[in-house]
């Protein structure tokens, strides 16, 4: 007995068997139930989403011997003949092979005759956009005013190529691409009905490769069954689709969390032994990072077949939310730039180095480490007898040292400028910290005063980021309260600007005392424009 492909064997026979496209099915079902069926329908959408299938089911609904309605019986002679493709009053035309005007005229010569067996003579024209301009012109008049016993069902993947005169004469339904979960669920139903065991991860991989097309998904499933000797397993699916192993992607994410360029490059070299598609590797990494971000934002998120919740929880704890966002952005930009790299592996390696290097430059190397010292110990230094915090400083500068204070002693942020410099902050959140002055601390509440000239920086989001950075730096859970000052206050930003101004003044005085400048003034009456002087 000959084998029937899954896509043909499991083609839907009724509206309720279709996956997705509810917006189309509801409109057609209501039209059939109320006997308000238009004479022309245009179904558009990408390949394999159900255009021709819906048209055939509609033809059955119109001609079913038990009566016209949205639920054909499926057992009468008409329904069986439509399913088998031999119903005499369903004329299926492939416009790609019959583009000439003579073919269209020959087709329309029989429109005037009544149907042989059914209620309606149904013309199903597939890939209608392939018709020539003359063929469309020949079709227009009949399409606008067909005999009452004729229905036109048009299907196309490229509606932009249809003349507006044709579009205006049809009811147009745009079929959407199917989601990965819809395709996966349908394939699981098919496999269960066929009595074939499967691994959910393998089905998910095939559904993702289908790219929104149910027919492509079932065809790939057929291919996987042949490739795996009747098995639907993840290993065989990855080998057939040439996708990277998810364990390798997990290891790559772990190394990104450690931000170790040496290990990252060693891993990239080991990947090259498998000759992977580096674009697919970056796609898989981006997908994983999205799931990690979802896990961080929604702790109840359970992942999917390819991303178990325990692995997502591990990465969510190992990589900060900011780093997840940065690595995701870098991965998708690196994916885009692979075509411009000297070769794909070089572009892939540079993308990984960019992720690690920028994270290290942003403060990962000098991140605070916890130190032992009892209940009153804090990260990045200890508490002095007066309560001042020791702040991590660059290697060139002397490090502040302090002794542990008594348990429960309140921290004093006296040296706010150095503390701000040590915080892992960037962008507007750093600007907020730099334009605040330390006021007081009561328990876990840190009170700051904001320079009135920078009042716009006082937003809930920025204050939360500042509180998180302070909590990470001190090892305590802190809250921050920011109030605008009544008068200008001494802030790190003002101190930095004053230092810059002093540097400018020193440079200007140095230039004014320069012998060459003095000589130009005496001989040529030159004038030094001090506002253009910039220190190097």
Stretch (H or E) spanning 40: strand 40-44
Domain assignment of residue 56, yes or no:
yes
pLDDT digits (tens, 9 = 90+) for 316-331: 888 888 889 999 999 9
Q: 213 and 137 share a domain?
A: no
**CATH number of the structural domain spanning residue 237:** 1.10.8.60
Task: Name the one residue in this structure whose structure tokens are 């393998």.
Answer: 202
Domain assignment of residue 336, yes or no:
yes
Q: Identify the pLDDT of residue 44.
A: 94
* Alpha-carbon distances of 251 from 248, 254, 286, 289, 522, rounded to whole Å: 5, 5, 14, 13, 71
Are 151 and 37 spatial neighbours (Cβ–Cβ below 8 Å)?
A: yes
Q: 410 and 463 share a domain?
A: yes
Residue 132 has pLDDT above 90, yes or no: no
Q: 143 and 103 share a domain?
A: yes
Q: How confident is the model at residue 501 (pLDDT cuts 50, 70, 90)?
A: confident
Q: In DSSP terms, which residues pair with 412 in a beta bridge?
A: 388
DSSP code per residue over 60-125: HHHH-TT-SSSS--S-SHHHHHHHHT--TTEEEEETTT--SHHHHHHHHTTTTSPPSSSSSEEEEE
| Range from 55-64, 202-211, 447-456 carrying the lowest mean pLDDT | 447-456
C-alpha span between 422 and 27 (Å, rounded): 62
Q: 15 and 164 share a domain?
A: yes
User: How do beta strands 121-126 and 90-94 pair?
Assistant: parallel
**CATH number of the structural domain spanning residue 156:** 3.40.50.300
Q: 58 and 86 share a domain?
A: yes
Stretch (H or E) spanning 58: helix 51-63
In terms of residue numbers, what domain contains 498?
493-532
Domain assignment of residue 196, yes or no:
yes
Give how many domains the chain has, as a whole number. Answer: 5
Q: Identify the pLDDT of residue 293.
A: 93
pLDDT above 70: percentage of residues in the chain = 88
Q: 332 and 269 share a domain?
A: yes
Residue 198 buriedness (CB in 10 A; 0-12 / 13-18 / 19+): buried
Residue 411 has pLDDT above 80, yes or no: no
Sheet holding 121-126, edge to edge: 90-94, 121-126, 150-156, 40-44, 171-174
Q: Which of 465, 466, 412, 461 is closest to 436 using CA atoms?
A: 466
Q: 31 and 134 share a domain?
A: yes
Residue 43 has pLDDT above 50, yes or no: yes
Are 232 and 204 spatial neighbours (Cβ–Cβ below 8 Å)?
A: no
Averaged confidence pLDDT in the chain:
83
DSSP code per residue over 190-212: HHHHHT--B-HHHHHHHHHHTTT
10 Å Cβ neighbour count for 498? Answer: 11
Q: How confident is the model at residue 402 (pLDDT cuts 50, 70, 90)?
A: very low
Domain assignment of residue 378, yes or no:
yes
Q: 193 and 215 share a domain?
A: yes
C-alpha span between 393 and 418 (Å, rounded): 8
C-alpha span between 462 and 446 (Å, rounded): 15
Q: Which of 465, 377, 482, 475 is closest to 426 using CA atoms?
A: 465
Final residue before a domain boundary, out of 364, 386, 409: 364
| Range from 107-111, 153-157, 168-172, 373-377 carrying the lowest mean pLDDT | 373-377
Q: Identify the pLDDT of residue 182.
A: 93
Final residue before a domain boundary, out of 189, 223, 241: 241
Q: 334 and 256 share a domain?
A: yes
Final residue before a domain boundary, out of 202, 219, 241: 241
Q: Which residue has the higher pLDDT, 107 or 281?
A: 281
What mean pLDDT is predicted for residues 465-477? Answer: 87
* Alpha-carbon distances of 334 from 343, 345, 510, rounded to whole Å: 12, 11, 47
**CATH number of the structural domain spanning residue 412:** 3.30.300.150
Q: Identify the pLDDT of residue 245.
A: 81
Domain assignment of residue 332, yes or no:
yes
Structure tokens at 227: 């490739």
Cβ neighbors of 260 (< 8 A, separation 6 or more) are 356
C-alpha span between 305 and 300 (Å, rounded): 16
Cβ neighbors of 304 (< 8 A, separation 6 or more) are 204, 291
DSSP code per residue over 504-516: HHHHHHHHHT-HH
What mean pLDDT is predicted for residues 323-341? Answer: 91
Residue 532 has pLDDT above 80, yes or no: no
Domain assignment of residue 266, yes or no:
yes
Sheet holding 479-484, edge to edge: 436-442, 445-450, 479-484
* Alpha-carbon distances of 471 from 366, 381, 477, rounded to whole Å: 16, 14, 5
Q: Identify the pLDDT of residue 373.
A: 35
Q: 46 and 189 share a domain?
A: no
DSSP code per residue over 431-491: HHHHTEEEEEEETTEEEEEE-GGGGGG--HHHHHHHHHHHHHHHTS--EEEEEE-SS----
What phi, psi does 383 have (nearest 5°)?
A: -100, 130
Domain assignment of residue 1, yes or no:
no
Q: Which residue has the higher pLDDT, 30 or 259?
A: 30
pLDDT digits (tens, 9 = 90+) for 218-266: 999 999 999 988 889 988 998 888 778 888 888 899 888 887 788 888 8
Q: CA gyration radius for the chain?
A: 35
Task: Name the one residue in this structure whose structure tokens are 């009811």.
Answer: 171
What mean pLDDT is predicted for residues 303-323? Answer: 87
C-alpha span between 346 and 339 (Å, rounded): 11
Q: 344 and 455 share a domain?
A: no
Residue 388 has pLDDT above 50, yes or no: no
CA 22 to centroid of chain Cα atoms: 25
Q: 386 and 438 share a domain?
A: yes
């Amino acid at each position: 007995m000959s084998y029937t492909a899954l896509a043909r064997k499991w083609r839907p026979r009724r509206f309720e068997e279709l996956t997705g496209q509810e917006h189309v099915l509801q409109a057609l079902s209501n039209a059939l139930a109320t006997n308000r069926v238009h004479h022309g329908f245009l179904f558009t959408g990408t390949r394999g989403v159900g255009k021709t299938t819906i048209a055939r089911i509609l033809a059955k609904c119109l001609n079913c011997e038990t009566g016209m309605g949205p639920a054909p019986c499926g057992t009468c002679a008409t329904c069986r003949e439509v399913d088998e493709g031999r119903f005499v009053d369903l004329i299926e035309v492939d416009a790609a092979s019959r583009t000439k005007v003579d073919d269209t005229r020959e087709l329309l010569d029989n429109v005037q005759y009544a149907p042989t067996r059914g209620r309606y003579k149904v013309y199903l024209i597939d890939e209608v956009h392939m018709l020539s301009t003359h063929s469309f012109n020949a079709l227009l008049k009949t399409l606008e005013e067909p005999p009452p016993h004729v229905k036109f069902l048009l299907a196309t993947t490229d509606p932009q190529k249809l003349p507006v005169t044709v579009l205006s004469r049809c009811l147009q339904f745009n079929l959407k691409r199917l989601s990965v979960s819809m395709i996966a669920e349908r394939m699981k139903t098919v496999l269960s009905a066929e009595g074939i065991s499967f691994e959910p991860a393998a089905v998910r991989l095939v559904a993702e490769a289908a790219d929104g097309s149910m027919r492509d998904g079932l065809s790939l499933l057929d291919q996987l069954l042949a490739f795996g000797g009747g098995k639907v397993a993840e290993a065989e699916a990855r080998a057939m689709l040439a996708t990277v192993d998810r364990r390798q992607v997990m290891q790559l994410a772990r190394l990104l969390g450690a931000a170790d360029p040496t290990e990252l490059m060693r891993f990239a070299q080991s990947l090259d032994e498998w000759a992977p598609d580096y674009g697919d590797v970056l796609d898989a990494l981006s997908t994983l990072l999205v799931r990690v971000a979802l896990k961080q934002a929604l702790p109840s998120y359970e992942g999917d077949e390819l991303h178990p919740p325990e692995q997502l929880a591990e990465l969510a704890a190992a990589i900060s939310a900011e780093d997840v966002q940065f690595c995701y952005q870098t991965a998708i930009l690196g994916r885009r730039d692979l075509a411009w790299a000297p070769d794909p592996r070089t572009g892939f390696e540079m993308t990984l180095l960019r992720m690690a290097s920028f994270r290290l430059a942003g403060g990962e190397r000098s991140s605070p480490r916890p130190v032992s010292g009892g209940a009153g110990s804090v990260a990045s230094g200890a508490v002095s007898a007066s309560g001042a915090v020791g702040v991590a400083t660059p290697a060139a500068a002397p490090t502040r040292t302090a002794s542990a204070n008594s348990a429960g002693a309140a921290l004093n942020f006296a040296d706010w400028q150095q503390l701000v410099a040590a915080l892992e902050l960037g962008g507007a959140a750093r600007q907020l910290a730099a334009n605040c002055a330390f006021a007081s601390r009561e328990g876990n509440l840190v009170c700051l005063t904001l320079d009135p000239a920078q009042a716009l920086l006082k937003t809930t989001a920025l204050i939360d980021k500042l509180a998180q950075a302070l909590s990470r730096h001190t090892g305590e859970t802190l809250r921050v309260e920011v109030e605008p000052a009544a008068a200008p206050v001494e802030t790190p930003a003002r101190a930095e600007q004053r230092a810059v101004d002093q540097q400018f003044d020193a440079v200007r005085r140095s230039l004014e005392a320069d012998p060459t400048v003095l000589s130009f003034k005496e001989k040529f009456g030159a004038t030094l424009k001090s506002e253009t002087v910039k220190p190097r």
